[in-house]
Amino acid sequence: MKKKYENKKGMTLFISIVVMSILLLVSFAVINITLKATLFASSGKASQYAFFAADAGIECAIYWDSKFEPSKFDVSANGSPINCGGHSISTGQNFFGTIVRIGGLEAAAELNTSIFGFVMDGGLVENQVSHCAIVEVTKNADGSTNIYSRGYNTCDASHPRRVERGVEVTY
């Protein structure tokens, strides 16, 4: 009887190691799925912030285009200053968060285009991310207006998770 059990020494250890290995692999798979879901959720949040920044840029441009006669974006008008997101924007200012540095409300007479940008940081405490928008307003010869706004979830152009969303309006 003793000999019957001597041949099976270590079988319990082998089975427990196999079971533990399977559990370890399953736990790694669950952790991997959880991390990917977290990154996906945070990218959705960043996309939403970028879209809202682009929408704020559209709303600001429509406001300043329709508030004055002639429009602040008309080539014949001075166009300066306007106020968006709590920031005054004047002709010739550089705006934050872009790789290409274009003056704020810089109007190209041959294109009838004004480009400006602003940062939305109202009420933020230190170390929070501010969002920004770059808006391009084109006054066409037929009297129509094209507004294209690009919103960003962060104004830091070198940020690895910077998201850009655009909104375009023609009226």
Across residues 64-74, what is the average pLDDT?
A: 78
* Band (11; pLDDT cuts 50, 70, 90): confident
Q: What percent of the chain has pLDDT over 70?
A: 74
Per-residue pLDDT band at 41 (split at 50, 70, 90): confident
Band of the pLDDT at 103, cuts 50, 70, 90?
A: very low
What are the phi and psi torsion angles at 119 (to 5°)? -105, 135
Residues in the chain: 171
With a cut of 80, say whether residue 114 has pLDDT above it.
no
Question: Between vectors from CA 93 to CA 88 and to CA 94, what angle results, nearest 5°?
Answer: 115
Pairing of strands 131-139, 113-120: antiparallel
The mean pLDDT of 34-57, rounded to a whole number, is: 87
The structure tokens listed for 26 are 């399953």
pLDDT band at 104 (very low <50, low <70, confident <90, very high): very low
Only one residue has tokens 């709303």, namely 59
Residue 102 confidence (pLDDT):
36
What 3-state DSSP class applies to 160?
Answer: coil
